[in-house]
Amino acid sequence: MAKVISEDIGEYYHHYPRVATIVTAQAKGRQNAMAVAWHTSISFAPPLYGIAVSPKRFTYQLIVDSKEFGVNFLPFEQAELVASVGGSSGGEIDKFRQFDITQNKPVKTAVPILKDAYAAYECRLIDDRGYGDHRLLVGEIVAAHSLEEAFTPEGILDLAKVSPILYLGGERYVTASRETIKYLDRKVYGKD
Ligand SMILES: Cc1cc2nc3c(=O)[nH]c(=O)nc-3n(C[C@H](O)[C@H](O)[C@H](O)COP(=O)(O)O)c2cc1C
């Protein structure tokens, strides 16, 4: 099969799927939620997390104003909520009311934590830098919420209990199943 090589990159999705998250923020009495697929861990010590957010998003201004954001990881049953908050603007509607989103209390910040999340990070903004048409917002994780039964004793997501939301790009979502797990010990495989 022939490989296609392109130098006109445009919008690129070759590296998908990616875990879809819901980023939350609040400021000046307004709270909001948006879908974010561009996110990454950056450091263990201190625990840093990065999200790439367009400055056009209503959420961006709330994060700049409050210097805080939340990253919420939801089960596949909640994929519709990702599409809902990713397809609407907080400048026009109150997404928490419109989509009937229930919350848990944050502990270190004032960011909304979604009750249905199997994990969530409360982050304090430490850097906001522009790269092309997005801003890379880096936050220190000051509290991590997690559903105890969703994780194995080693802290790995238990796919028997929770199916994550993987975003394929466009309007397509998929999940990961336990049957496809491969255990590959790096100490064994790293040997020549
Ligand atoms: C699955 C999915 C992933 C998305 N990922 C991002 C992202 O990583 N960064 C971003 O700026 N926008 C992303 N978006 C777009 C925003 O979620 C969307 O523009 C949203 O309406 C912004 O809401 P707000 O204006 O209320 O902040 C994504 C949308 C979807 C559906």
85-142, pLDDT tens digit by residue?
A: 999 999 999 999 999 999 999 999 999 999 999 999 999 999 999 999 999 999 999 9
User: Is the predicted pLDDT of residue 192 greater than 90, yes or no?
Assistant: no
The rounded Å distance from CA 40 to ligand 1 centre is 15
Q: How far is CA 96 from CA 76, 100, 108, 117, in A?
A: 19, 6, 21, 14
How high does pLDDT run on average in the chain? 97
CB 135 within 8 A of CB 36: no
> How many whole angstroms separate alpha carbon 119 and alpha carbon 157?
10
CA atoms within 13 A on the CB side of 64: 14
Pick the residue whose CA is nearest to atom 19 on ligand 1.
86
Q: Which residues line ligand 1 (CB under 6 A)?
A: 20, 32, 34-38, 52-54, 57-59, 82-83, 86, 88-90, 134, 167
Q: What is the mean pLDDT of residues 187-191?
A: 97
> How many whole angstroms separate alpha carbon 123 and alpha carbon 75?
21
Return the ligand 1 atom nearest residue 38 CA. 8
Q: What is the pTM of this model?
A: 0.98
The per-residue pLDDT for 30 is: 97
Return the ligand 1 atom nearest residue 20 CA. 1
Q: Convert the pLDDT of each residue in 37-84 to its tens digit.
A: 999 999 999 999 999 999 999 999 999 999 999 999 999 999 999 999
> How many whole angstroms separate alpha carbon 33 and alpha carbon 51?
14
CB 173 within 8 A of CB 165: yes
